[in-house]
Structure 1
Amino acid sequence: MELAGAVAVVTGAGAGIGAAVARAIVDQGGSVVVADLNAERVRAVAERINTDTGATRAAAVAGDVSDDAVIAELVATAEREFGPVDLYVANAGITAGLGLDSDDAAWQTALDVNVLAHVRAARALVPGWVERGRGYFLSTASAAGLLTQIGSVTYSVSKHAAVGFAEWLRVTYGDSGVGVSCLCPMGVNTELLNAGFSGDRDGGSIAANAVTSAGTVLEPEDVAAVVIEALRDERFLILPHPEVLTMYQRKGSDYDRWIAGMQRYQRSLRGDA
């Protein structure tokens, strides 16, 4: 994908991966609409981009990006300020609920933000991209969507669903000019890692430790650099932590052995004998 002159929407862009990807897109010559629940932070991101570039290259929209009305506002803002959307980065993510005691509200929140926000955005944009013969959808899932997330069932299941939707989208519309990539990092130094998993011995602390002890914790800017390279190559699976591919291959080659290994890993995180 050529990012010079491209118009992008990036959700979950008030900080972390979203903010870094938005800035990287602008650095490549694109323009961006950034979105986040936190109005103050996302406006600050847009203002910083515009100040640093000396031009209006970013606009901000605050709201829940799993809401059809907010998605429509994002698309309308992009068209008004910069032109038709070429790239949609469905990056917003959330942790909601940990174990089997997670109630239906927690499940619905996780599914809304981590999966259905992607579905609703694609529903709004893909038909128009097919007519134009081009467009690009980038889904931020997680290594948890390829492997699993020890300590958080809602996160693990919703991220698996995000990967599945991205795969389906690429298979279904790839021959119609629609590009799709799926970003699956492990640990990244963001609020989602540092504060998103909270809980007791059987919950948040184990979930966070499972991520930080599995490999290097990257900075958002490191992830953004990998994303830009992958978009240029139109590569489907984006793995800022290359070792995830090896883990995924081992999982597929012997599922029972992989599950046994994950159980041992979980026991070690709990400090069990």
Structure 2
Amino acid sequence: MIDHHSPFKINCLSACNNSKYYLNDSLPKYSVDTVVIPFEYKQSALFQPFTFKAIDSVIGILLERDDVLLSINGYAHVDEAGDSICYYLSLNRALVIKDYVLGRGVDSMRITSLKGWGNVRSRNRKTNADILRYNCRAEIMLSYPLPPPPQAVNDRDEDGVADEVDECPDEYGEILKYGCPDKSAIIVPFEPEQFSLFSVSYAVLDSVKAILLRDPAVSITISGYAYKTEGVDAVCKKLAIERADIVRRYLLSRGIDAERILSSKGLGKSKSINAGRNPLEIIRNARAEISLIRR
């Protein structure tokens, strides 16, 4: 495979002014990588082990994937000879690459074009700092077919479950619950980017405390969550852990036996309870969840 740090590979960002471009406007479309094969001044014969290594890396791709196509362009420097000789020199550089590739078992039908550009480029790029290396070369352009665009999926509630298999198509739900929400969980709200309790949090926790004191057979699990807009993964993970922990500590401070809290964990931004389509929905995702479990 091609070494992406190799000096022989041109990133399409610099070669084409785009990381991907299309060969035509009809399918299939391709992304293109360019591999540079250097030649000695006024020579069209292959040389140096690293030159063969660069070509062999291309051949490795072509033999492994039969859907990759290639084109070959040869170039010459304006000082190598007159216009006509430079043209044939550039063409010979492209042809020697073609012969080597075919000799290694690549089907000739996969070569979409082969062209010698003479000294045209060097005339237009005389200011290049490394002008000889820039023009005494051939370039192999590998065309990779892009995957087909994803099919449009109807998902009214935007929960990531297609309507055709969503058992609750108008309610934001969970994939593991076939698109339905977990309505059994008790939501403990938090202010965005905070893990301290406030008035509404206390009211919810006090109601949970009352249930636990009234029914000794009920235990709980606590899960803390954060929303993606509250920070990067590490921040959201820490925030979620702190939210779960302060809920646990509050209930312990109100006389709930530690054995009745079966687990307390922070799950970061792994699960939302809505699509976050407006500020109110976003705020509702800053939360902890308490699940009641009857033993």
Structure number with higher helix proportion? 1
Bigger Cα Rg: 2
- When the two structures are superposed, what TM-score results if normalisation uses the length of structure 2? 0.26
Higher relative contact order (CA 8 A, sep 6+): 1
- When the two structures are superposed, what TM-score results if normalisation uses the length of structure 1? 0.28
